[in-house]
Structure 1
Amino acid sequence: MLFTLQSADHPNSIDLKIGPQRSFRRKLFRQFRQQGLAEPVTCLGSRYDESTRRAAGMRLRGDSDNAASRNKDGDLVISPVAHWSDDDIWEAVSLYAGGARPGYSDFEEMRRIYAHSVGTSCAVVADAILDGGGGRRQGKCGARLGCHVCQMAEDKSLANMVAYGDRYAYAAGLQKLNRFIRATRYDWSRRHWIGRTIRGGYVRVMPDTYHPSMLRALTRYMFQLDFDEQRRAASVGEQPKFQLLLLDMMIAVDAMQSLNGVAKPFAAWADLRDIQVRGIRYDVPDVPDIHQSAMPIARYLHVGSEWDDSAPDADWTGLRDPMREALTEGSACQSSIIFAADGRAVLDLQTAQQFDVDAEAAQLIAEFEVDRLLDMHDADGGPGSVTAGYRWYAHYGCLTLSHAQKVEHDEIARRTAFKDRLGLTLSYDLKDVLARSVPLEDLPAAARAVWGGLSSEPAQLLLC
């Protein structure tokens, strides 16, 4: 029986940890089946002794240290240390470190990180502090490391490590970014106020996801942190400790921000040029904390019954490209068209299990296409063209979508193009939008009926 190792789930890391882990595990397991290997078992580090909540969840699942069981995904899992105490864990670490037990590691790095995350030189003392010993309990998530943008709790571990010594100086910028996000969470001026759903001819106007200007700022800060770390590492002859925006991730961000109309096409490449070529710095600022306040009351803006159906060229405001289709008509490389359930023609892009960026295409873009992308960014195509960046990546063959995303992304592109022509994407005068919107009680009866049951729902504050 083949075993894989997976850490226990944490409720605040679905997108950044659990989702990618689950996707990778499924891909790995498919490979095992294709190779005719025995069904794998995933080893969990969950322990009944960790917390009452963890123990309750483990009992509900039937977690065991001596028999594999099926989880909710149907995979076999086992928890070898399910009944171990904290003392058992540290005793085992000492035995492995001293060579008394055979193991794959001496756990030296693990002990160092544990100790320094609390500002001590001893991992066991650090663990006692994390558990509340000596009256210095660090709080929830105190022992979790590497979650540099997490806002579940104040990242005292990273702060302690940065303060401990020069070894962790590279992480100072990451800590500063975390503090900036924390300080601005309730700054409604940094939020995008224009809704994405039409009901009764209206969209809701209230703080939701980050405003395009805030997203642009965060992207720039991450590029700057990457650049500074690359220079630091080069100066001491070592590999960078981190890179927040790898090439494929940068292209994915650039494409999706274009699709959703929150950045000009190829804005990421322009920001990278500013830092690497023009010497412009985008340092994370120190800002005062904005205290939590009540969510502003929603208002409603009339936009029409459906996104973009009022446009004379509505058939072409999605992902289709009339020039490309005209030039390739009748040829072997003609762009194929599929039809959505409502009969709308959409571009038949290449698909896979999930959204992805083709590594080879990304490298070709970085080597041969950057100057052209910068020219297109600087030219600014005007209202309605904000989705051009996404369409370029898609036509270049750089993006792979899930099957459902072909229609979904076409719908998003039409919505974005419509909002862009109305001046409701990159930059808009919020005071003007609020002046043109109306409160719930002033909506027409039909619109008030569909929005009335939703008006009390809090907006879901997202970071993207």
Structure 2
Amino acid sequence: MRTLLEQQATSDGAREVITVLGLRKDESASRSLAMAEREDTADVAVRNRGGGLTLSPLADWSSDDIWTMLALLADPGNMSFGSPLLPATIHRLSEIYRAGNGGTCGVVMGESGARASCGSRFGCAFCCVAGDRDKSLEAMIEDEQYGHLRPLNDFRNYLLAIQWDMSRRELIGRSLSDAGYTRVQADTYSYLTRVDLLKKLCSIDATERARAEAHSGALATGSIPDTEENRLLCEPQFEFVTPQQLVAIDFFLSMHHYAPHAFPALAVWHDVNVLGRRYPIPKLEPLPKPEIVMHGWYPVGEYDREAPSVGLRSLDAEQWNPYRHPDRPGRYARTTGGEQTVYFEEASQFEVDAEAACLFVTCEYGTAFMLQMQHRDAIESARFWLNEGIVKLPTRMAQRYQDMAKRGQYFARLAQRLNLTPAELDAHLVSNAISDTDHDALLGHDKVQLSLFEEAA
């Protein structure tokens, strides 16, 4: 978004984009200290560490100031300017904060008689940084009006419970050392875990749509009172996996070495939304943080040591593009590194055509298509999204995605060549990895690959 705004500013002749933030020193002691160190102010823009200009017009506001302003905006008749918010919107905001505070009003009287804000805090429903529990959300879902948000809290708790389960982590490193080795150590979530999370999110979305439909029926038959809140609840209140997001997920999963077939994410969506399967969220006890074992380094060359890999290149597309897309400047494309790939288009950032994605997911991807794709290599769907222009790559970043595709295809073919299951391939990588010492002896300390967990610490 910032890139787009900067491009627009340049075309309009503006000097720079200023990011306006809603940060307040009153939010917490740590927030106040951080803002003081950055010299954030309400009237003078400052540069952040990335070099961009930011302005914090609410820097010196208290919570009481916020609620006072909202109260004024809720009564536009007493203001000399128009309110940017509808009174109904402000009322609903107040009700949400009330529910998040166990039923207590958002602004309460303190011991000294001064008003003080409640303890409700809201943000990303799945944020795992805020603590072991989301107390505001837990309080809200006890209110029948917000009961439909319970799966969000369950999913967040599930993420917290599995975050230190190393059996759910990927062992294969995401980059190469200069010696042609990749790190073998628990890193990002594994393919199966990502698919598991997608199944659960799709199930949450499907359940919410069913709830909204049932609520609409109850309102139509008079089973529930005709109120503004009930009319609002006749529509789904959230959707975590839109067709556009699903295509983006599918593009990346298609390049994974353990993806069993083409269009893996769409198969999950079809499983939930067409076949009607649901994947409930279990309640698990969180695991303690373990020691992150470094298994060593596995030799891969340029992803060509023991098996071939061409990544995003598609010979079929090169042959058919002159017939299917005669207006294109070429049958294929090349990365900035000079590697030939399937045709692709570029944008200022990674982009998915929302309309085309919705059309394909909801209208073209049926059961027959899904069954046909069970016998096609996963990488083919990644090539498809690019060749059809539904997915666009960031400008001059194609080599990065080609490297991802080659890595995934290489290990998929390695497993095929050695006739190994995913679990057996992981064991093979561990048993055939060389130590840090041996790797350092080849080329010195590797500064390219970083440990995800060490960086997070």
TM-score (norm 2): 0.79
Matched residue, 2:396: 404
Matched residue, 2:229: none
Structure 2 residue 204 is the aligned partner of structure 1 residue 222: no
* Contact 2:298-2:429 at 8 Å conserved across structures: yes
2-structure distance, mates of 1:224, 1:373: 22
After TM superposition, give the deviation of residue 209 of structure 1 in Å: 0.5
After TM superposition, give the deviation of residue 318 of structure 1 in Å: 2.0
2-structure distance, mates of 1:324, 1:47: 54
Q: Summarize deviations over 1:341-380 as a string: whole Å, max 9, x none.
A: 654333451111011111232133131244464134322x
Structure 2 residue 60 is the aligned partner of structure 1 residue 83: yes
Instruction: Give 1:388's match in structure 2, choosing from 377, 380, 386.
Output: 380
Paired positions, count: 418
2-structure distance, mates of 1:302, 1:42: 45
Residues 230-249 of structure 1: matches in 2 within 5 Å?
230-237=209-216, 238-249=234-245
Task: Describe the shift of the 1:233–1:445 C-alpha distance in structure 2 as closer, same or farther (beyond 3 A).
Answer: closer
2-structure distance, mates of 1:372, 1:145: 41
After TM superposition, give the deviation of residue 242 of structure 1 in Å: 0.4
2-structure distance, mates of 1:413, 1:446: 29
Q: Secondary structure at the match of 2:183?
A: strand
After TM superposition, give the deviation of residue 262 of structure 1 in Å: 4.9
2-structure distance, mates of 1:413, 1:404: 16
Q: Secondary structure at the match of 2:298?
A: strand
After TM superposition, give the deviation of residue 407 of structure 1 in Å: 1.9
2-structure distance, mates of 1:78, 1:437: 50
Instruction: Give 1:358's match in structure 2, choosing from 353, 361, 365.
Output: 353
After TM superposition, give the deviation of residue 459 of structure 1 in Å: 3.1
Instruction: Give 1:191's match in structure 2, choosing from 169, 174, 193.
Output: 169
Amino acid at match of 2:436: L
1-structure distance, mates of 2:306, 2:293: 31
Matched residue, 1:273: 270
After TM superposition, give the deviation of residue 432 of structure 1 in Å: 4.0
Amino acid at match of 1:257: L
Amino acid at match of 1:419: F
Instruction: Give 1:46's match in structure 2, choosing from 5, 23, 36.
Output: 23
Which stretch shows the higher mean deviation, 392-401 or 118-127? 118-127
Gap regions ≥5 residues in structure 1: 1-22
Q: Secondary structure at the match of 2:341?
A: strand
Structure 2 residue 304 is the aligned partner of structure 1 residue 324: no
Instruction: Give 1:111's match in structure 2, choosing from 88, 94, 102.
Output: 94
2-structure distance, mates of 1:92, 1:437: 62
Structure 2 residue 393 is the aligned partner of structure 1 residue 416: no
Task: Describe the shift of the 1:261–1:127 C-alpha distance in structure 2 as closer, same or farther (beyond 3 A).
Answer: farther
Which stretch shows the higher mean deviation, 366-375 or 236-245? 366-375
After TM superposition, give the deviation of residue 401 of structure 1 in Å: 0.8
After TM superposition, give the deviation of residue 29 of structure 1 in Å: 6.4
Matched residue, 1:435: 431
After TM superposition, give the deviation of residue 454 of structure 1 in Å: 8.3
Q: Secondary structure at the match of 1:159?
A: helix
Structure 2 residue 172 is the aligned partner of structure 1 residue 172: no
Structure 2 residue 341 is the aligned partner of structure 1 residue 346: yes
- Between the aligned residues of both structures, percent identity stands at 25
2-structure distance, mates of 1:378, 1:57: 52
Task: Describe the shift of the 1:97–1:119 C-alpha distance in structure 2 as closer, same or farther (beyond 3 A).
Answer: same
Amino acid at match of 2:45: S
After TM superposition, give the deviation of residue 444 of structure 1 in Å: 6.0
Q: Summarize deviations over 1:142-172 as a string: whole Å, max 9, x none.
A: 6123432434423221111112x11111111
* Contact 2:335-2:396 at 8 Å conserved across structures: no
TM-score (norm 1): 0.78
After TM superposition, give the deviation of residue 241 of structure 1 in Å: 0.5
Structure 2 residue 149 is the aligned partner of structure 1 residue 157: no
Which stretch shows the higher mean deviation, 67-76 or 358-367? 67-76
Task: Describe the shift of the 1:454–1:340 C-alpha distance in structure 2 as closer, same or farther (beyond 3 A).
Answer: closer
Amino acid at match of 2:176: I
After TM superposition, give the deviation of residue 60 of structure 1 in Å: 4.6
Q: Secondary structure at the match of 1:203?
A: strand
Gap regions ≥5 residues in structure 2: 217-233
Which stretch shows the higher mean deviation, 32-41 or 146-155? 32-41
1-structure distance, mates of 2:297, 2:398: 30
